[in-house]
Every structure is written in C-alpha cells, then in structure tokens.
Amino acid sequence: MSLPEIALPALQLPFEIPVLLHPPLVHFAIVLPVMILILELINMVLKSRATTEMPRGSTVSMLSLFLIILIVIIFFGAYLTGSVDGKNTYDMLCETGKTELKEHKLLGIYLVYGTVALLVFKLISLIAGGAGRSLLVIVSLLFVAVTLKQGRDGGELVYEHGANVATVKVMDDRIFNLEDELETLKAECNDTAEFSTVPTPAVPEVQVPAIPIPAPVAPVPQPQSPEQNRSAIAPDPTNTASPVLPAAVESITPSAQTIAVPPTEANITAPVSVAQ
C-alpha cells in the first residue's frame, strides 16, 4: 500500500549541504527513538512507584523530553541531507532503485512529521499523567518500528542498488561508454551490410586464344673447318708415343677428301689421312 503524497515546506539554506552527510545523521536518527522508548518505559515504572513525599522519574522524563526535541532536529537534517544524496545518485539507479528511492524519501517526510507528533504526545504525557505516558509509550513503539524499516530500506538502496557508491558509479559510466560504442559498431555493421547488398555490374569474360608454343629443337652440329680439324688432331710435340687420333675423327664419314698432315718435330714420316 502506497502512502499519500505529502511534502515539507520549502526551505532556502544560506549554505550548500555536502554530499554523503546523510549516513552519519541517520545513525543518530535510528538510535535516538530506541533510547526514548527505553527512557519512557523506565519513566513509567518510576512514576508508578512515586509518592508525594518521594517523587520519582522527573530526571528521566526531562532527559526523554530533551532527546525528543533533539530528534526533531536530527530527522529534519536527515531529510535535507538525504534529498541531496538522492539527487546525486538518482540517475545511476535502475528503475527499481529509483522507485525505492522515491518511497524512501516519502517515508522520510512522514517520519519528520512523526517526530513533531512524538513531541506533542510527550507534552500531553507531562500534563495528563499516567494515561498520557501510556499513550506516549505506544506512539514511541510505533515510531521505532517505522524508523527501523526506513533504515533497512536505506541499506537496500546502498547494498543492492549501489546508491552513492563510487565504485558502482565508475562501473556504471564504463558500461554506458561500452553500450555507446556497441551501438556505434552496430550502426557501422548495418551500413556495411547495406553497401554489400548493392548489385555490381557483371564484367564480360574475354576469351584469350591459346598461343601454341613450339617444341624446343635440338641444335644441329656445325661442320668444322679444316684448320679446326687439324688443330683437333695435331699430336703433342712433346709426346714421343705413336699418335692417337681424337674420338671426333671416328664420327667423320669416309667419303670426305684426304687431308695431308705435315710432319712434325716428333719425326712423324708417314702422312696421316683423315676422312672428312
């Protein structure tokens, strides 16, 4: 069940409230209602045993009154600092976190008004006596229960949704940048895909005729001149053995003319006929 929307009167402060001042104040805002409840229970026991000759509980009652006045100031300060922290972390929260933050703020406004109601019931208890003290104890018990619920909701905003956690903010910024880069890459891929689907004109194929490559021809041996033949078969002057004709002479046909080889210094007397 959602609470009806209410608001506090606008207040212009002459100074700026720093961020992260809300957590220190809410610790006092959670502890003080519990202390007030304990003091009022002690006050009831002491007042029940008080007599005209021996009045009891006046000191405890005054201490409880002082704490109730203090709690009004602290809860109002917790609301102001919570508004600053909430604005600082609202954008980085998910949709569920944003909804819980709004509910947390609304319940905080109710608690601020609840502290004023608690002060009124305290004043009534000072005037009405026993019945007023009993009613104040009941109101204090309800106030403590709502305050503890508010503290639990605030813890969920921090530990489950990362409200005002610097590391979560850094990671959230990185995720945002990566998502932005991913969208850019997707857009580039889509543009590339659209460009690749454009039909390209067909290029006609050109038939190149095959050019026959002639087979390699063995070289034809060229006939040698008589001078080359004489130099090939001329014996070594330093060799005193019988002359030996080169192997090339064997390939010469016998139908050639006879070539006279002049005698050399090796005392070769007989002419050598070579068929060319």
Q: Of 95, 85, 89, 41, whose CA–CA distance to 64 is shortest?
A: 41
Mean pLDDT in residue range 66-72: 96
Would you say residue 4 lies in a domain? no
Q: 135 vs 36, 123, 142, 275, CA distance in Å?
A: 14, 11, 11, 155
The per-residue pLDDT for range 31-59, each reduced to its tens digit, is 999 999 999 999 888 887 766 666 777 88
Residues 123 and 182 grouped into a single domain: no
Q: Is residue 143 part of a domain?
A: yes
Is the separation of the CB atoms in 80 and 29 below 8 Å?
no
Give the domain range for residue 179: 165-198
Task: Mark which of 109, 143, 164 sits at the end of a domain.
Answer: 164
- 181 and 139 in a single domain? The answer is no
| Model pLDDT, residue 236 | 56
Best-predicted range by mean pLDDT (101-110, 176-185, 203-212): 101-110
Domain boundary among 153, 176, 198: 198
Q: Does the pLDDT at position 181 exceed 80?
A: yes
Is there a single domain that holds both residue 43 and residue 145? yes
Quick: pLDDT tens for 122-168. Answer: 999 988 888 889 999 999 999 999 999 999 999 999 888 887 776 66
Q: Out of 179, 198, 217, pick the residue that ends a domain.
A: 198
117 and 71 Cβ atoms separated by less than 8 Å: no
Q: Which residues lie closer than 8 Å to 147 by C-beta, 6 or more apart?
A: 29, 30, 33, 111
Do both 158 and 185 map to the same domain?
A: no
Q: Are residues 100 and 169 in the same domain?
A: no
Clarify whether residues 172 and 89 are in a common domain. Answer: no
Q: Are both 88 and 189 inside the same structural domain?
A: no
What do you get for the CA distance between the two ends of the chain, in Å?
A: 132
273 assigned to some structural domain: no
Do 97 and 193 lie in a common domain?
Answer: no
pLDDT for residue 129: 80
| 159 falls within a domain | yes
* Position 258 in a domain: no
Name the helix (H) or strand (E) containing 275: strand 273-275
Q: How far apart are CA 226 and CA 214, in angstroms?
A: 35
90 and 178 in a common domain: no
For 239, other C-beta atoms within 10 Å of its C-beta total 10
Q: Are residues 62 and 72 in the same domain?
A: yes
**Total-model pTM:** 0.61
Q: Are residues 91 and 184 in the same domain?
A: no
Q: Phi then psi for 267, rounded to 5 degrees?
A: 60, 40
Tally of domains within the chain: 2
Read off the pLDDT of each residue in 242-267 and give the average, rounded to a whole number.
Answer: 48
Is position 46 within any domain? yes
Task: Please check whether residues 123 and 31 belong to one and the same domain.
Answer: yes
Query: For residue 123, is it within any domain?
Result: yes
Q: Is residue 1 part of a domain?
A: no
H/E segment holding residue 258: strand 258-260
